[in-house]
């Protein structure tokens, strides 16, 4: 509510009467109003200058407005001071509570101003919200501390596991490197075994052919021995027949010799008359003796032939027996070589399969070695990260403990 302002009480800077007499103009009013417009309310118009002019009422109104505005400004400044004091008190009380950490109480101000009611209500609400936040932060800090401890334990365990894993992977990589070398050696050995098996197979096949040729030769030897045996048997029969004939001849010669002897004897007995007879008898006897000598030689030859045929028969029997044994041995050797061939064939096939498998193993091992190297690198990075995580978890644990300690300072109950 505005109250009328007595412009006379202000006693503005008065001009001389002469000056007023000389008549004030509107420019003074404009100057004062221009000062008002920039917040300078201290200026007043000298009403005496406007005495008798139509501008006197305006000048009075201007001065009254200025008085009124100044009065309200003073009142507003007083209220501002009051509210500022309340705000300062509230802030000071809130700061004091926050510094002391005691959020259990309520804010009570010595200043009672209606304008501060929303502030007090707001500060109370802030305090409640802060109390709630602190409570939640305390619980969260506790949980954080517990969780960070668990994270630290897990990170430590993880770091230890990662280190052990890295060590194992390193050892595995080294082992795989050795295995790679061994696979290479095995592949070369398998190739060599396969080559030797092929050569052995070729040699065994040649041996099989040689044994077949040997058995064929033994069969021919046995056949020849049988033919020789038959020839010897025929020869023996012929010789026996010759022997019989020779015996007959010998018998005849013997009888002829006997007759010749008796003839010679009778011739001799007859004396001169039997002389010619004796000569003939002697000649006959000589012939008979020649025959007997020949038959004796023939008998000796027959004996030699018998011995020779007997030796040939024994040799032939020996040949047949040896050929039979040779065929039997050849058969056994053939069976053995067939078994060996089968075994060598299986060995050759197996060696070839092993060679292929070892080549695949070699390739796979090289891939595994490559993968292990990559895994080792990744594990090394994971180990580094795990160490960092452990450090971070330890730091986090310290921060959580620190946060819990800080939150404990606030009393909310």
Partner 1 sequence: MTAETTEILVFQVGASAFAAVVHDAVRIGSVRDVPAEELVVGSALGMPFERTRGIVVAAGEAQERTLVVDQVLGVRSLPAEDVHPLPPLAAACLSSGAVTGFVVMDGAPTLLIDLRALVREHPAAPHKRAA
Name the DSSP letter for residue 142: H
Binder of partner 1 out of 267, 333, 368, 407 (CB under 8 A): 267
Binder of partner 1 out of 244, 262, 332, 335 (CB under 8 A): 262
Q: Are the beta carbons of 63 and 35 closer than 8 angstroms? A: no
16 phi, psi to nearest 5 deg: -70, 155
At residue 411, the 3 state secondary structure works out as strand
Name the DSSP letter for residue 272: G
Binder of partner 1 out of 30, 153, 248, 268 (CB under 8 A): 268
Binding residues for partner 1 restricted to 273-312, rule: CB under 8 A: 278, 281-282, 285
Binding residues for partner 1 restricted to 228-257, rule: CB under 8 A: 254
At residue 89, the 3 state secondary structure works out as helix
Given CA atoms 250, 252, 255, 257 in this order, what sign does their dihedral have? negative
Please name which of 171, 176, 185, 189 lies closest in space to residue 366, comparing C-alpha atoms: 176
Q: Are the beta carbons of 164 and 382 closer than 8 angstroms? A: no
Q: Are the beta carbons of 278 and 260 closer than 8 angstroms? A: no
* Dihedral angle over CA of 19, 20, 24, 30, nearest 10: 90
Binder of partner 1 out of 77, 220, 238, 269 (CB under 8 A): 269
CB of 252 to partner 1, least distance (A): 13
CB of 280 to partner 1, least distance (A): 12
Give the interface segment with partner 1, choosing from 98-106, 109-117, 268-276, 290-298 (CB under 8 A): 268-276
Q: Give the number of C-alpha atoms closer than 13 A to the C-alpha of residue 392, restricted to the C-beta side.
A: 9
Q: Are the beta carbons of 288 and 256 closer than 8 angstroms? A: yes
Binder of partner 1 out of 265, 353, 364, 378 (CB under 8 A): 265
117 binds partner 1 (CB under 8 A): no
Q: Name which of 282 and 406 has its Cβ closer to partner 1.
A: 282
Q: Name which of 153 and 265 has its Cβ closer to partner 1.
A: 265
Paired tokens of 326: 């040779």
Rounded CA separation 133/410 (Å):
11
Q: Name which of 77 and 286 has its Cβ closer to partner 1.
A: 286
Binder of partner 1 out of 30, 91, 231, 258 (CB under 8 A): 258
Give the interface segment with partner 1, choosing from 87-95, 104-112, 184-192, 271-279 (CB under 8 A): 271-279
411 phi, psi to nearest 5 deg: -100, 120
Q: Name which of 54 and 271 has its Cβ closer to partner 1.
A: 271
Q: Name which of 110 and 271 has its Cβ closer to partner 1.
A: 271
Based on the number of CB atoms within 10 Å of its own CB, is 345 exposed (0-12), middle (13-18) or buried (19 or more)? middle
Rounded CA separation 223/324 (Å):
10
271 binds partner 1 (CB under 8 A): yes
CB of 254 to partner 1, least distance (A): 8
N-to-C CA span, the chain: 48
Q: Name which of 231 and 270 has its Cβ closer to partner 1.
A: 270
Q: Name which of 4 and 271 has its Cβ closer to partner 1.
A: 271
Size of the site for partner 1 (CB under 8 A): 15
Q: Name which of 178 and 293 has its Cβ closer to partner 1.
A: 293
Q: Name which of 254 and 366 has its Cβ closer to partner 1.
A: 254
48 binds partner 1 (CB under 8 A): no
Please give the distance of CA 408 from its chain centroid, rounded to a whole number. Answer: 53
CB of 279 to partner 1, least distance (A): 10
CB of 256 to partner 1, least distance (A): 12
Binding residues for partner 1 restricted to 64-83, rule: CB under 8 A: none
Please give the distance of CA 81 from its chain centroid, rounded to a whole number. Answer: 81
Residues at the site binding partner 1, with contacts judged by CB under 8 A: 254, 258, 261-262, 264-265, 267-269, 271-272, 278, 281-282, 285
């Amino acid at each position: 509510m505005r109250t009328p302002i007595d412009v006379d009480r202000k006693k503005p800077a008065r001009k001389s009467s002469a000056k007023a007499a000389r008549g004030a103009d509107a420019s003074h009013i404009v100057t004062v109003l221009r000062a008002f417009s920039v917040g300078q309310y201290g200026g007043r118009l000298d009403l005496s200058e406007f005495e008798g002019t139509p501008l006197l009422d305006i000048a009075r109104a201007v001065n009254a407005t200025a008085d009124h505005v100044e009065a309200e400004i003073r009142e507003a400044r007083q209220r501002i001071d009051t509210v500022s004091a309340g705000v300062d008190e509230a802030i000071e009380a809130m700061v004091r509570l926050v510094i002391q950490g005691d959020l259990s109480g309520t804010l009570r101000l010595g200043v009672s101003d209606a304008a501060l009611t929303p502030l007090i209500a707001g500060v109370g609400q802030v305090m409640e919200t802060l109390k709630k936040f602190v409570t939640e932060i305390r619980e969260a800090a506790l949980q954080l501390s517990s969780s960070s401890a668990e994270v630290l334990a897990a990170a430590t365990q993880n770091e230890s596991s990662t280190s052990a894993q890295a060590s194992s992977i390193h050892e595995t990589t080294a082992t795989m490197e050795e295995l790679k070398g061994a696979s290479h050696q095995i592949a070369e050995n398998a190739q060599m075994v396969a080559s030797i098996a092929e050569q052995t197979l070729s040699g065994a096949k040649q041996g099989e052919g040689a044994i077949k040729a040997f058995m064929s030769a033994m069969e021919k030897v046995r056949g020849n021995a049988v033919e020789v045996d038959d020839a010897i048997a025929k020869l023996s029969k012929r010789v026996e027949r010759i022997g019989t004939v020779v015996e007959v001849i010998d018998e005849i010669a013997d009888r002829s010799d006997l007759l010749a002897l008796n003839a010679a004897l009778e011739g001799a007995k007859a004396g001169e008359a039997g002389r010619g007879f004796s000569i003939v008898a002697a000649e006959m006897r000589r012939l008979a003796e020649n025959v007997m000598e020949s038959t004796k030689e023939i008998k000796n030859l027959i004996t030699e032939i018998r011995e020779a045929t007997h030796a040939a028969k024994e040799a032939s029997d020996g040949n047949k027996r040896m050929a039979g044994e040779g065929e039997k041995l050849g058969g056994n050797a053939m069976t053995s070589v067939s078994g060996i061939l089968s075994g060598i064939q299986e060995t050759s096939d197996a060696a070839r399969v092993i060679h292929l498998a070892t080549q695949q193993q070699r390739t796979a091992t090289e891939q595994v070695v490559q993968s292990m190297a990559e895994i080792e690198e990744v594990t090394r990075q994971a180990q580094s990260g795990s160490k960092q995580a452990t450090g971070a978890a330890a730091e986090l644990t310290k921060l959580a403990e620190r946060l819990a300690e800080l939150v404990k300072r606030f009393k909310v109950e």
